[in-house]
Every structure is written in C-alpha cells, then in structure tokens.
Amino acid sequence: MPRLLKKRGHKVGLPPGTLLPSQQSELPGRCRLIKYDQAGFSEKPLSQDETVSWEGTEERGTTWIQTVGLDPRRLSGLGEPFGLHPLVLEDIQTTDQRTKMEDLGDSLFLTAKILSLAQEHGKSVLQAEQLSLVLGSNYLLSFQERESPLFEPIRERLRSGKGKGRQMGSDFLAYLLLDILVDHYFPILENLGDRIEELELKLAQNPSSSDLRSIEEMKREAFYLRKAVWPLRDVVASLERDEGHIITAGLRPYLRDLYDHIIQIIDATEMCRDLLSGMVDLYMSSISNRLNQVMKVLTIISTLFIPLTFLVGVYGMNFRYMPELEWKYSYPILWVVMGATVIFMIRFFKKKRWF
C-alpha cells in the first residue's frame, strides 16, 4: 500500500530546485528517444552521458523522450536543452506530487498517478508511482519512477503505424498516455468492488476481528484512488479548455471522452467509500447480534437451572424433621420433578419463541 505522504525532512534548509539522490534514482534507469511522423518511425536508447540537442522550430514530426528512473544527472541533462526550470525538475523527482497541470509558457507540465495491483503474500496490493509529462508543440517528455509495461501498447502502435498516433501530434500522444493510465484504474475498482461484496457477505454471516482490518485497508485504497482521480478530472478539463498552441481543436472530442471515463471512476470510487463506511456499522451490528445470541443462550441455560437450584437447595438443608428424606422413592421422585420442570420450561420458551 503506498504511503499517503512521503517524508521530505531531508530537504529542509536546501535551496529550492535542489535535486537529491533518492531511492528511485539508485535504481537502474533507462531513457528512450522516439521520433515519428506519417512517413516513418525511429527509436533508440540514450546512454547516461548522451545529451539531446533540441531546436523546437527545426524539428519535424513528433519526438517522445521516455525516461525511466529519476537520476539527478539524467533530469538535469534533459532539463537544460528543453529549458525546464529547476523547480519543475524538483517536482519531477518529488514523487508525492498531487496530480496537477502547470502552464510553462511554451510547454505544459503535468503529473498523474500510475496505479497497479501486485500480488504480495497471496493478496492484491495497490502500488503507485508518479508519471510526469512535459508537453511541447511537437515533443513530449515522460518521466516514470520504474520500468513498467504500461505504455508498451502505445509504442507498438506507433511502430506499426496502426491507429491515428503517427498522424497526430504530441498532444495526441499525451492523451494516449493519460487514456491508458485511466483505463488501468477500472480493474482496480473492479477488484475493490469484488472484495467489498465478499466481505459484506462474510460480515452478515460470520464476522471476525480480521475483517475490521480488511475494511480499513480497503478504505485506504479507496481514499488513495480518490486522491489520484479527483485532481485528474480538473487537469483534463483544463486541457480541453486550453486555447494555446499546444492542444489542437481535433483533440477536444478525445479529451471529453477521457473526462467522461474519469467521472465514471469518481462515481464508482464514491460508491465504494460509502459502502465501506456502512460496513463498519454492519461489522459492529453483526458483532453485537452475535454477542446477543451468546447471551441469550447463556441466559436460557441459567434460567433452566434456577428451579433446579431451588429444589436442591431446599432438600440440602440440614433440618432434622423432613419427612421426604425418609421416603423410599424420594430420590427418584425428585429427579422426575426436576426433569419435568426443565421440559416444561423448554416448551414454554419455544411457545414464546424465545429460542
């Protein structure tokens, strides 16, 4: 489960825009340079020390630089030729940024959350990483924390020329990345919904103390999903309203469709949160009902023994003159009386539907 807020204490006192080595930057990174247009497609890896020469007005087609890993040297090497402000580079490296969009003048800076499910100890665990995009008129820079097959279908379509990717510009490429990112939210919601239904049925039948912990874990997942999706709605709405030279008019229908998908996810997330909030009450009610049933059984048992205790107490007194003690059949008669009393009380309780 991802942390809701990552620690930033190590940055206290440092100048704004300082890039620091991090756990993500120590992982093996990779950088890929992709260029394409209607006529062709080219792809090559960039080494750690290889720089990118860029003159935006002279480039033809669309350039996509996909970076995996947040190494400070790599970020600085890409920031200089594209004129990225140090604060933008710091936001790229700070992986707990909220989903947002900033207008940088000749480009747009976007951040979003990539959510996925991983199997740990036999159960699904939510994992998150930050995706940062710098969108220019004919280029796109993408930054991920770690290697992921998420965008491989997009690269494959660009290689083969299928779809409209090669005919459209960098804004359409950014849309494709956001669209596939949003599509991966739906399996997470479906998994969460299935777990909620299973747990709800279990709570109604046989609740246990571990169920409350499961409810809290799912509430955290729903909260984190809401935290990732709600700001993304505003980002897509801002892209649709953008009147600059980066977002073209032909992209607006696609952005409206993406906006509708996000609204569906938000509605489903809110429904899951409401169900999980009600499940806490259901858990407490189920525990209370089970406790009442236990107390009911114990009370009935105690009630059955009250007259028996009375009879045994009477004939256990040490009085000298008790004629029943001298009778030959007094002992079996007493057992018959006690048995008849129990049978009578059981039939009386059943008639009253007390059990």
Q: Report pTM.
A: 0.76
DSSP character string of 36-52: E-SS-EEEEEE-TT---
The domain in which residue 69 lies consists of: 14-287
What is the rounded distance in angstroms from the CA atom of residue 138 to the CA atom of residue 246? 8
Count structural domains, the chain: 2
- 33 bridge partner residues: 44, 65
Residue 8 counted as domain residue = no
Residue 298 counted as domain residue = yes
Q: How far is CA 31 from CA 90, 109, 234, 310, in A?
A: 18, 19, 30, 88
> Quick check: 276 and 215 in contact, CB under 8 A?
yes
pLDDT band at residue 214, thresholds of 50, 70 and 90? confident
**pLDDT tens figures, 145-171:** 888 888 999 999 988 888 888 888 899
**Residue owning tokens 């023994």:** 305
- 305 bridge partner residues: none
Q: Are both 152 and 195 inside the same structural domain?
A: yes
What is the rounded distance in angstroms from the CA atom of residue 95 to the CA atom of residue 212? 30
Residue where one domain finishes, among candidates 236, 255, 287: 287
Q: Are both 77 and 176 inside the same structural domain?
A: yes
- Report phi then psi at 333, rounded to 5: -60, -40
> Quick check: 212 and 286 in contact, CB under 8 A?
no
Q: Are both 283 and 305 inside the same structural domain?
A: no
Q: Are both 171 and 309 inside the same structural domain?
A: no
Residue among 79, 82, 46, 41 at smallest CA distance from 62: 41
* 243-40-33 Cα angle (round to 5): 70
**pLDDT tens figures, 53-77:** 554 434 578 999 999 888 888 888 7
Residue 5 counted as domain residue = no
- The three-class DSSP label of residue 60 is coil
